[in-house]
Amino acid sequence: MRRSGSKFLRSDTDAAYEETLRRLDDQRLLRKLHPVCGESGHVRVHDVDGRALISFSSNDYLGLAHHPKVKGAAIDATEVHGVGSGASRLITGTHPVHLLLEEAIAEFKGVKAALTFANGYATASGFATAFLSRKSIVILDKLSHACLIDSCRLSGAKVRVFRHNDLDKLEALLRWADGQPDKDRVVIMTESVFSMDGDLAPLAEIVSLKDRYGAQLLLDEAHGVGVIGAQGRGLAADLNLTDRIDYHMGTLGKALGVAGGYLAGSQAMVDILINKARSFIYSTAPPPILAVAARAALEIAKGKEGEERREILRGLMARLAEETGQPESPAAIFPYQIGDEAAALAQAFALQESGFYVPAIRYPTVARGAARLRLTLTADHTCGQIQALTRAMADYAARHGAV
Ligand SMILES: *Cc1c(COP(=O)(O)O)cnc(C)c1O
């Protein structure tokens, strides 16, 4: 590469970037930002041309992101607390609203303590710096979220992957890990509801295996909380396994409609995080208004209104399953498998032309050749919208000979 002094010429590096982007585009793997704006929630949206679209893409499963009480709490808190938080919680002092939120999360999860982070991704990396080292072994479900994989890489831990939900493979890896000398800990990582497939982990079986081999378990309930079980407490609580899980992880940005992530468990676990989670220590605290909003959302999610919203959501999930002839899903995520990246993009584009916003999920979010449309439902959808979408999908399939 040509250099001018010690600096790269901008045009050279830009040309290299453009080449990379062209290659991605050739493989139909290029990602672009689509400006889309919600009118009164994440369901009715419009694009820059003002075209109205019905969106099936948001993880705001209970429709809380635009809930009047959540918005009202954030607006009132803005008047009192301002917007930014100023610094890390260890530097400026901890705002009491963060502690109140963490108390509410711990109570909700049925554990002693919780710590919040800026988002789920930062939560996972905080976990890694606090609890994992080169001497750790992490055993990870193949379909685990990128933030779990990245956190393992960050830690330098030995990582082994088991085929999705394959208990035999998991046990084989636990047996192997058991025989490794000089390890400080063995941690299994999995999700309760898988983000791109919408299926559940066999949690009871995983818990008995981890107990048998003396391993620990981090359970990421990003898509379970708010949706699964009584009060939306998630899969662990629903199966009565709360106390047998070492690290309960989740996000405040999905069913709770705000932003943030958390780890919940023992007080000692939280105290270690405060001392060692670098994404907590070296990052400006989330704005207090978000903590206030998240607490308001949690109140709604676990209360009577949350129950009603889950009931509506379950009705819509059953309706979508019926319309598409798919088996009923335990969660509000519906992968519509296509395979080929170009075909998935083409169908997403055609749906957009028909007034529906549905994301095409491609490598590296899913495996190569496993591209899909990922439909998500929220309590704010209607049966009519689901019917219209499935009709548009069936029309497209009829025209293009897809299945
Ligand atoms: C979205 C997601 C995260 C990350 O949470 P954010 O708050 O969005 O950063 C973590 N784990 C899973 C399974 C997710 O789907």
Average pLDDT over residues 295-301: 98
pLDDT tens-place string over residues 201-215: 999 999 999 999 999
What DSSP line would sit under 249-303, residue for residue?
A: EEESSSTT-S--EEEEE-HHHHHHHHHH-HHHHTSPPPPHHHHHHHHHHHHHHHS
- The pLDDT of 100-112, averaged and rounded, is 98
Together in a domain, 252 and 381: no
Residue 300 near residue 70 (C-beta atoms within 8 A)? yes
Contact status, residue 220 vs residue 148, Cβ threshold 8 Å: yes
Residue 191 beta carbon below 6 angstroms from any ligand 1 atom:
yes
Task: Give yes or no for residue 220 CB within 6 A of ligand 1.
Answer: yes
Same domain (yes/no): 205, 137: yes
Is 116 domain-assigned? yes
Percent of the chain predicted with pLDDT > 70: 97
Q: Whose CA is nearest to atom 2 of ligand 1?
A: 222
Q: In terms of domains, do 164 and 221 share one?
A: yes
* 310 assigned to some structural domain: no
Closest CA to 346 of 358, 328, 334, 330: 358
Q: Is residue 202 assigned to a domain?
A: yes
- For residue 51, the domain's CATH number is 3.90.1150.10
Q: How many CB atoms lie within 10 A of CB 180?
A: 11
- Pocket flag, ligand 1, residue 197 (CB < 6 Å): no
The CATH number for 272's domain is 3.40.640.10
Which residue has a Cα nearest atom 8 of ligand 1?
Answer: 120
pLDDT of residue 1: 46
Give the total number of structural domains in the chain: 2
Tally the residues of the chain.
Answer: 403
276/350 same-domain check: no
Mark whether 285 and 261 lie in a shared domain: yes
Question: Ligand 1 centre from 206 Cα, in Å?
Answer: 21
One-letter amino acid of 263: L
* Among 253, 282, 302, residue at a domain's last position: 302
Same domain? For 291 and 350 the reply is no
- Asked if the model's pLDDT at residue 102 lies above 90, the reply is yes
Contacts of 34 (CB under 8 A, 6+ apart): 47
What is the structure's pLDDT at 402?
Answer: 56
Has residue 5 been placed in a domain?
no
Upper half-sphere CA count for residue 131 (Cβ side, 13 Å): 27
Question: Are 115 and 86 in a shared domain?
Answer: yes
In the structure, what pLDDT confidence band is assigned to residue 171 with cuts at 50, 70 and 90?
very high
Is 391 within a domain?
A: yes
* pLDDT, tens only, 116-149: 999 999 999 999 999 999 999 999 999 999 999 9
Whether 141 lines ligand 1, by a CB cut-off of 6 Å, is no
Same domain, 120 and 224: yes
Q: Record the tokens describing residue 246, joined without a space.
A: 């070492």
Residue 5 has pLDDT above 60, yes or no: no
Q: So what's the pLDDT on residue 10?
A: 72
Q: For residue 315, is it within any domain?
A: no
pLDDT of residue 288: 97
* 102, 116 Cβ separation under 8 angstroms: yes
* Final residue in a domain of this structure, among 284, 302, 320: 302
79 CB contacts (<8 Å, ≥6 apart)?
none
266 and 373 co-located in one domain: no
Q: Which amino acid is at 133?
A: S
pLDDT in the model for residue 11: 80
Q: Are residues 113 and 171 in the same domain?
A: yes
For 214-243, write each residue's pLDDT tens digit.
999 999 999 999 999 999 999 999 999 999
Q: Across the chain, how many H-helices and E-strands are there?
A: 15, 16
- Look at residue 363 and tell me if it is in a domain: yes
State whether 186 and 39 are in the same domain: no
> Could you list the active site residues?
59, 145, 191, 195, 220, 223, 254
**pLDDT value at position 47?**
87
Average pLDDT over residues 273-297: 98
Instruction: Report yes or no on 309 lying in a domain.
Output: no
Q: Which domain holds residue 94?
A: 68-302
Q: Taking Cα atoms as reference points, which of 148, 130, 126 lies closest to residue 201?
A: 148
**pLDDT on residue 8:** 59
66, amino acid identity: H
pLDDT number for residue 318: 96
Given 280, 302, 324, which residue is the final one in a domain?
302
Residues 140 and 275 in one domain: yes
Task: Tell me the pLDDT tens digit for each residue of 16-69.
Answer: 999 999 999 999 999 999 899 887 788 999 988 889 999 999 999 999 999 999
Report CA 288 to chain centroid distance, whole Å.
Answer: 22
